[in-house]
Structure 1
């Protein structure tokens, strides 16, 4: 089984949220930032990664994506703030570097 990720993106002003699921988080975020992701992210410049969760199976990430999309906006912001209180754009290169270093 292939790993899966659910992620939340926002625009610079933090007024919009986009929730997605993918098997390759780094590539998918890169595509969004290049304007090759979903039409919504391109149109509204929703490129900042604020939050993500990793799952052992993609199907579980897909189910979680559907769950989060049904949440109220306030609940989504509260979830994001549990791991990213400053609402800063997460740097995937740093995240992956930390993961590689901690497994050595």
Structure 2
């Protein structure tokens, strides 16, 4: 069963929400329609800006918990690696086109099967990304701990 870790934002560099689910398109739609009261409906966090897929729910939950410990700057860097314009990736889920809303090719191809709560995913890897070390945000010489 596929499971997903995802980040929603209220806008570029806005409020972030991190979660996990086994049905990404349904869960994002719930956030966008504010079907349940809570953080995302209170702060208008509805734009899907990043997600990863995993084969097992336990792997997705472990990644979610690890990311929740990250500093905000690291999360923003993670988003900007695949989605520098902070486009709404939920359009990908609706149309299952494999390219993001900005027209840039996505490294994730989501195939939604009608009636199925899960999606199959082809990816360059599960959680194997690394920002380039020459990025000044990661080589500032600060004594901060690295997330990896």
Q: Which residue pairs with 2:145 in the alignment? A: none
**How many angstroms does 1:97 deviate by?**
3.5
Q: Which residue pairs with 2:79 in the alignment? A: 80
Residues 50-100 of structure 1 deviation map (CA, whole Å, 9 limit, x = unaligned) = 000000011111110001110000000000001001111111223x23344
**How many angstroms does 1:4 deviate by?**
0.4
Contact 2:2 2:55 in 1 (8 A): yes
Larger radius of gyration: 2
TM-score by length of 2: 0.62
Q: Which residue pairs with 1:28 in the alignment? A: 27
Q: Which runs of 4+ in 1 moved over 6 A?
A: none
Segments of structure 1 that go 5 or more residues without pairing to the other structure are none
Mapped pair 1:93 → 2:94 = yes
Relative to its length, the structure with more helix (as a share) is 1
Alignment size in residue pairs: 99
Residues 15-69 of structure 1 deviation map (CA, whole Å, 9 limit, x = unaligned) = 2100000000000001111112461001001000000000001111111000111
Separation in 2, partners of 1:38, 1:59: 26
User: Which fold has the larger relative contact order, with Cα–Cα distance below 8 Å and residues 6 or more apart in sequence?
Assistant: 1
